[in-house]
Amino acid sequence: MTDVRIDDLPVRDELRGKSPYGAPQLDVPVRLNTNENPYPLPEPLVERIAERVREAARGLNRYPDRDAVELRTKLAEYLTGTCGYEVGLANVWAANGSNEVIQQLLQTFGGPGRTAIGFEPSYSMHALIARGTGTGWISGPRNEDFTIDVPAAEKAVAEHRPDVVFITTPNNPTGNAVPPETVLALYEAAQAAKPSMVVVDEAYIEFSHGDSLLPLLEDRPNLVVSRTMSKAFGAAGLRLGYLAAHPAVVDAVQLVRLPYHLSAVTQATALAALEHTGTLLKYVEQLKAERDRLVAELRAAGYEVTESDANFVQFGRFEDSRAAWRKILDRGVLVRDNGVPGWLRVTAGTPEENDAFLDAVRELKKEQE
């Protein structure tokens, strides 16, 4: 075949010279680079998934439930049960991973001629999905300690008048949670400037010391909370994300969603997982304890650590984080270099994986002394 590259094709201008998103995956003994839950699903749940999927398979000649009513009802029950704030079917929408939720939100509220803002460093897919949907991207400020610089953020919102404001809490890759007062201040600033939609990305909230911001939805129709089953539920391979918001937001995203976007197999699997919520969330407690151990041990070993409310920890500082990443990899442990100068990120794994990581970084410290 003739040698044709992406840029030889008539692709959209904003995609020229770009590379696809993706964490480098290497075949090493300990992989702590993508914030996954290290525990495979428990066997009784695997059995229940098989049962539910077998049932769904009998109906695969038909399109799935386009509105995923049973699944959204169960997700609403999960949110109500864990956050003490009542949401129902009409408040919840689901899609293939929270990435698709974010894409649908940007297709609905962003798009050509519109802009979105995020406070960086943060989850880089927000900017990439903005680009993919033709939404302009504005990089907002953070303080040295990676908290959001509220006055500067309010100023940026007032100045740029974005259509969508992203707030990630706990933030990825830094790990710190955003206080509710900050979210409220930015919501007010965003309403005064435009008004615009404020999307709170709570992908890691189950690992937080604090509470979900779900109760802030009360009387705030331009607020959206996005969630995922990829982290706390240990089901990254399932691809199930969801949002909670005013019913009008749920109606609005249906203007852009593809019909039957959530397969019957996905819906059946997610429903089975939700039946085992109690068991799955036990792993969360274990991972939180391991996360706290990583923070304490990294500090004891002489590293700086950003306060973490997630299932990962940002640590540093390195003069050359790329070189440090490579040295940790040489010891069989894959962590993530998110391009934050001086810092790396490690996902909390099993106790054994975390021990291997801690041995590697202690050795690295000795080498540097």
Contact positions vs ligand PMP (CB under 6 A): 35, 97-99, 123, 168, 172, 201, 203, 228, 230, 236, 241
Please give the single-letter amino acid code of residue 26.
L
Give 52 or 336: the residue with its C-beta nearer to ligand PMP. 336
What's the per-residue H, E or C state across 174-212? CCCCCCHHHHHHHHHHHHHHCCCEEEEECCCHHHCCCCC
Task: Report, in Å, the least distance between residue 230 CB and ligand PMP.
Answer: 3
Q: Residue 119 or 297: which CB sits closer to ligand PMP? A: 119
**Number of C-alpha atoms within 13 angstroms, CB side, residue 61?**
1
Nearer to ligand PMP, 108 or 364 (CB): 108
Provide the minimum distance between the beta carbon of 96 and ligand PMP in the complex, in angstroms, as a whole number. 8
State the minimum distance, in angstroms, from the CB of residue 36 to ligand PMP: 9
Smallest separation (angstroms) from ligand PMP to the CB of 122: 8
Q: Measured from the CB of residue 287, what is the shortest distance to ligand PMP in angstroms?
A: 15
* Residue 170 Cβ vs ligand PMP, minimum distance, rounded to whole Å: 8
The residue at minimum Cβ distance from ligand PMP is 97
Name, in order, each residue with C-beta under 8 angstroms of 105's C-beta and a sequence gap of 6 or more: 164, 197, 199, 224, 226, 243, 253
Q: Which is nearer to ligand PMP, 208 or 230 (CB)?
A: 230
Maximal C-alpha separation, the chain: 65
We find the least distance from the C-beta atom of residue 365 to ligand PMP, in angstroms, to be 28
Closer of 129 and 193 to ligand PMP (Cβ) = 129
Structure tokens at 155: 């100023």
Minimum CB separation of residue 173 from ligand PMP in Å reads 8
Cβ proximity to ligand PMP, 108 vs 122, nearer residue: 122
Cβ-based nearer residue to ligand PMP, 193 or 250: 250
Return the closest-CA partner of residue 337 out of 365, 363, 309, 318. 318
Q: End-to-end CA distance of the chain: give it in Å, rounded.
A: 54
Q: Given the complex with ligand PMP, which of 105 and 329 has the nearer CB atom?
A: 105
